[in-house]
């Protein structure tokens, strides 16, 4: 019996063009708290979506129960990401990450945004 060979062509997204300084009005700071084992995937996802990571910090998460906290049970290695995204992109940015990492489910992490002024130095990350 002859084996059927199929070639799968992967769709390639065109590279994102860095916006010009005049095209960046405001930025939003996005904060993600996720399990350490998902940190590499989150880093790649943020970069693919056009965000810029400012900092990644190691943390330790504990259960909400004080009984577990006293016994040092339920602790997880966590990672906290601070990233910036353009205000125009942040809604899609947060929705995609929240769905991909299932942040709405308990124990998978949290994500939130804070509006910031684009002239805090982070704006320079986006210009050509």
pLDDT for 105: 86
Higher pLDDT, 5 or 47: 47
Question: Mean pLDDT across the stretch 118-122?
Answer: 56
Q: Return d(Cα 60, Cα 64) in angstroms, integer.
A: 13
Domain 25-120 has CATH 3.90.650.10: no
> Which residues have C-beta within 8 Å of that of residue 27, sequence separation ≥ 6?
84, 85, 86, 87, 116, 117, 118, 120, 122, 123, 126
pLDDT for 118: 52
pLDDT for 86: 84
Residue from 86, 77, 28 nearest 56 by CA:
77
pLDDT for 24: 64
Query: Model confidence over 85-108: pLDDT tens digits?
Result: 888 888 999 999 999 999 988 878
| Angle, helix 39-48 to helix 90-100, in steps of 10 degrees | 150
Query: Model confidence over 14-38: pLDDT tens digits?
Result: 566 666 656 666 788 999 999 899 9
pTM over 0.85: no
Residue from 111, 124, 120, 123 nearest 46 by CA:
111
- Environment class of 71 (CB within 10 Å of its CB; exposed 0-12, middle 13-18, buried 19+): exposed
Query: Model confidence over 42-77: pLDDT tens digits?
Result: 999 999 998 989 999 998 865 554 555 555 556 678
pLDDT for 123: 61
Strands 27-35 and 109-116: antiparallel
């Amino acid at each position: 019996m002859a084996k059927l060979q199929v070639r799968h062509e992967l769709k390639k997204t065109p590279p994102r063009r860095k916006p010009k300084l005049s095209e960046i009005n405001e930025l939003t700071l996005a904060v993600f708290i996720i399990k350490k084992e998902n940190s590499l995937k989150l880093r790649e996802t943020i970069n693919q979506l056009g965000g810029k990571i400012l900092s990644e910090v190691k943390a330790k998460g504990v259960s909400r129960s004080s009984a577990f906290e006293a016994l040092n049970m339920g602790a997880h290695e966590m990672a906290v990401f601070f990233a910036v995204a353009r205000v125009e992109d942040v809604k899609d940015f947060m929705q995609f990450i929240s769905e991909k990492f299932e942040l709405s489910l308990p124990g998978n992490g949290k994500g939130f945004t804070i509006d910031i002024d684009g002239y805090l130095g982070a704006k320079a990350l986006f210009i050509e």
